[in-house]
Structures are given as structure tokens and as C-alpha cells.
Amino acid sequence: MASSSDFFVRDSGPAVAPSGPAAGSAFTPNVTGHQRGTPAPKCEPHCAFVLTHHPNRWGVQGGKIRPILGRMPLVSGIGGCEDGPNGTVKAGTARNNTESKGWTLIPYDSLPKSQAHRGSYLYSLKDSGRPDVILPYWARAYAGSTALRADLDLKYEFLDHLVSSGVVPEVPTYVIERCLDDAKARFERAADKAQTVPSWKPKAKAIGDEVKVLEKELKARAVEPVAVGGGYTPETSGV
């Protein structure tokens, strides 16, 4: 990049222009209290955590049935976490509490191939001046803003990878049935509302699409009863 002194240098001439404006360089007054550089994101603090999955938590996301992940916060005092040596957090008890309730902890390196270089699905905003903000890699924070937004393509790629790699087992059929019941109830309410409130029409349509996704998935599976047994006749008299 050319510097201001380069600008005035001629092949055979002196280092300083013989006439005209004197050489100068960029100058920013050092005014106390004024912002210098990019401001740090202003989002709420986000503690470190481990992503978790529960067999009950599924939903239609991005037109497909995908797991709704939970998280195990890594803060001493929360959920069974304790202070460890040298500022670390001991999470053994928290892990027991979490797993005993049916959750699976998702290892930090469970990453799709395209993201394997990251080494972890979490990243810190330390370099942006917010060491207290730990986010999953698909979450975006913005300089000077409280907003957090997700790159949904990255998020869905991650969720699909968890299922395809077996870290998260396939969605059970009974969960799809429950989701379908729930979506149908929501659709009926939304469709009713859309009759009188036009702004609800796109919402009703979105929930209608959700119903279609669930129905399609259910149809694609040969639905078997959960348990198959012999016939049962209660022992009664007089019936």
C-alpha cells in the first residue's frame, strides 16, 4: 500500500515535494470517551454449555423433522456443576442429573465434515471483546448490537449430521405421532383465527406445511404397534 511519503516521491526528485502541500499521514484525535474501532457485541452474556438431546424433543425445522436440542449450562451452582481447580467447572454431578433424565450429551467434536476444522461446536467472542459470550458456531453476534441471529443452513447441517452419524437416534414414530397431533391442534386454531385476522393466514399455512411434513414421514414408515402381544380377556363374571 502506498504511504503518504511515497505519493510525493518522484524517480529523480527529492523525498519531499518542492512545492504544494506538505506530506502528512492519517490522524485520529485521541479523544477520551470516544469509540475507537469496532464496538463489541452488546448481546446478553452466554455461559459455556454442552448441547444435549432428549428423545421427546423433536419438531419441524426448515421443512424437516429435526431434533430440538437442549443444553447443560456449565456454571457452578446450576444443575449440579461445581467449582473445580484453577477456575474450571466440575460437571460430573450435572452430567449424572442430565443423563438420568433421558438426555444425551453431545460431544463437542460432533461436527459435520465441512466444520471439522473447528474442533468444537462452540466458539467464544473473546476476540471481539466479549469473553462472557459463548455461542454455537451457527450463531452470529453483531458489533454494537444486542441481536443474535442464526445461519440456519449451518444449523440444519449440524442437526442432520447428529442424526446421520448416530449421535442422536432417529426420531421415534410415537414422537412423530405426538408432534402431528400437536401440529393439527395448532393448525385448527390458526386456521380459525385466519378467518378473522388476515395476518394469521401465513402462520396457518406454515403450520399446515408442518402437518404435511409430519404426515408424509409417518406414511413413509410402516407403523407398527409399540408392543405386540396376545389377546387379553379380563376375568369377570356376569359379562
Applying CB under 8 A, which residues contact another protein? Answer: 43-44, 47, 52, 54, 56-57, 59-61, 68, 70-73, 75-83, 93-94, 96-97, 100-103, 135-136, 138-140, 147-150, 152, 155, 182, 186, 189, 193, 196-197, 199-200, 203, 206-207, 210
Which of 102, 121, 101, 99 has its CA nearest to residue 110? Answer: 121
Query: What angle is formed at CA 178 by the lines to CA 112 and CA 54, rounded to 5 degrees?
Result: 40
How far apart are the C-alpha atoms of 131 and 69, rounded to whole Å?
A: 24
How far apart are the C-alpha atoms of 226 and 79, rounded to whole Å?
A: 33
Minimum CB separation of residue 153 from another protein in Å reads 12
190 close to 203: Cβ distance less than 8 angstroms:
yes
Cell of 121: 461446536
Which of 77, 71, 102 has its CA nearest to residue 175? Answer: 102
Q: Which is nearer to another protein, 111 or 204 (CB)?
A: 204
Q: Which is nearer to another protein, 8 or 137 (CB)?
A: 137
Q: Which is nearer to another protein, 118 or 140 (CB)?
A: 140
Q: Which is nearer to another protein, 173 or 186 (CB)?
A: 186
Minimum CB separation of residue 154 from another protein in Å reads 11
Q: Which is nearer to another protein, 17 or 193 (CB)?
A: 193
Minimum CB separation of residue 108 from another protein in Å reads 17
Minimum CB separation of residue 81 from another protein in Å reads 7
Minimum CB separation of residue 14 from another protein in Å reads 46
How far apart are the C-alpha atoms of 183 and 178, rounded to whole Å?
A: 9
Q: Which is nearer to another protein, 13 or 202 (CB)?
A: 202
Minimum CB separation of residue 184 from another protein in Å reads 13
- Burial class, 178, CB count within 10 angstroms (exposed 0-12 / middle 13-18 / buried 19+): middle
